[in-house]
Amino acid sequence: MTSNAPQERAWVAPHADTPSGPVPAVTLTAEGVVPAHLLSGGERVLLAIKPSLWFVLFASGRVLAAMALAALVATQLAPSEYHALTIQAAVSVGLLRLAWATLQWVSRLYVLTDFRIMRIRGIVNVEVFECPLTRIQNTELALSLPERVTRTGTIHMATAGFGTGHVAWRTVARPLEVHEMLRAAINRATLGRGEHGV
């Protein structure tokens, strides 16, 4: 099934390969995507992406559905003179939810380096979650029905001793390729730790 999903731009290291082959680099630079103060000396950014723009719709879906249902019920039960007001109120709430979800999308960034993963999010208060690759116990790629239709996916990671023990990169485009890159980076980091006897 074809999808009309908007094309998101991401930064991929020019030499960041996946097990199935190289991932083509695009035009953004790491310096323009990842704040420099978040990186350690010599740390190399392999991938820096935002969620797919479908994130905005998925995050707003329940509210939009509820407002549509409320408007439908109200127009059936309320006096006709209130129909326009009811629809306007439902549309206003839906637009506000979409605006908030857009701000959530703008403020969210998923970063993979040769040392760790990061999730940056927050509109008013910025939250930065980070975890060394060697402390990621396992990963899981989940594809819900809406994500399969839009060719997006959510990557779940179990983290040992960090945060709540779980972090997710939600609604990412090209999820299979991103997951392969993540697994390859974890394997390299784990192998490197073993070679150094850690």
Q: Return the pLDDT at 44.
A: 87
Residue 152 binned pLDDT confidence (cut-offs 50, 70, 90): very high
Query: How confident is the model over 154-164, as pLDDT tens digits?
Result: 999 998 776 67
Tell me: pLDDT of 102 over 70: yes
* Higher per-residue pLDDT: 171 or 82: 171
Q: What is the mean pLDDT of residues 171-197?
A: 86
Q: Return the pLDDT at 79.
A: 81
Q: Which amino acid is at 59?
A: A
Tell me: pLDDT of 94 over 60: yes
Q: How much is the mean pLDDT over the chain? A: 82
Measured distance CA(86)–CA(105) in Å, rounded: 29
Residues 6+ apart with CB under 8 A from 127: 119, 120, 121
Q: Return the pLDDT at 194.
A: 56
Tell me: pLDDT of 176 over 90: yes
Q: Edge-to-edge, what's the strand order for the sheet holding 152-159?
A: 136-142, 152-159, 166-173
Which of 13-27, 120-134, 183-197 shows the lowest mean pLDDT across its residues? 13-27
Residue 36 tokens read as 């420099």
Residues 6+ apart with CB under 8 A from 26: 9, 10, 11, 12
This prediction has a pTM of: 0.76
Q: Return the pLDDT at 8.
A: 46
Tell me: pLDDT of 83 over 90: no
Q: DSSP assignment of 10-79, as one string?
A: -EE-TT-EETTEEPPP-S--HHHHS-GGGSPTT--EEEEEPPPTHHHHHHHHHHHHHHHHHHHHHHHHS-
Q: Which amino acid is at 71?
A: A
Residue 37 binned pLDDT confidence (cut-offs 50, 70, 90): confident
